[in-house]
Amino acid sequence: MSLKNVLFFIIVCGLDGVCIFLGSVLGNSMGRTGLFAGAVVGGIIGVAAALLLAARFNLLDRSRYGAAFLGGVAGFGVAAVIAVNNLQGPVIPVASVGLVGVGAILGKAFGGKRAA
């Protein structure tokens, strides 16, 4: 794995994790359902924001943004299911955020326009 992909992974996971946390904190004022809804909205916004930042740092070709976004959101969906089913401790929910980065890297690698 290249250094660019490692930095890409760290940016996506880190920013998305912060957005998930902030979304859940803001949604918590509306009860348990709001907490989960806020986390979902924060997670999706986090993927988009992280990919924009990665593109700004030339870690992501803009032609692959859509595929990386879909991969990141798919990874977030898997991470959300794992996290919700393992809320008894903080380790698994926090570690599952890595799936967002993995999904974004897979989307970046296999989607979008190929250079000729």
pLDDT in tens, 23-79: 999 999 999 899 999 999 999 999 999 999 999 999 999 999 999 999 999 999 999
Q: Residue 33 in contact with residue 23, Cβ under 8 Å? A: no
The single-letter code of the amino acid at 48 is A
* Confidence at residue 84, expressed as pLDDT on a 0 to 100 scale: 85
pTM over 0.95: no
Q: Residue 12 in contact with residue 53, Cβ under 8 Å? A: no
Angstrom distance (rounded) from CA 69 to CA 49: 10
Angstrom distance (rounded) from CA 97 to CA 2: 20
Ordered by start, the domain boundaries in the chain are: 3-110
* Confidence at residue 116, expressed as pLDDT on a 0 to 100 scale: 42
Residues in CB range of 52: below 8 A, 6 or more apart: none
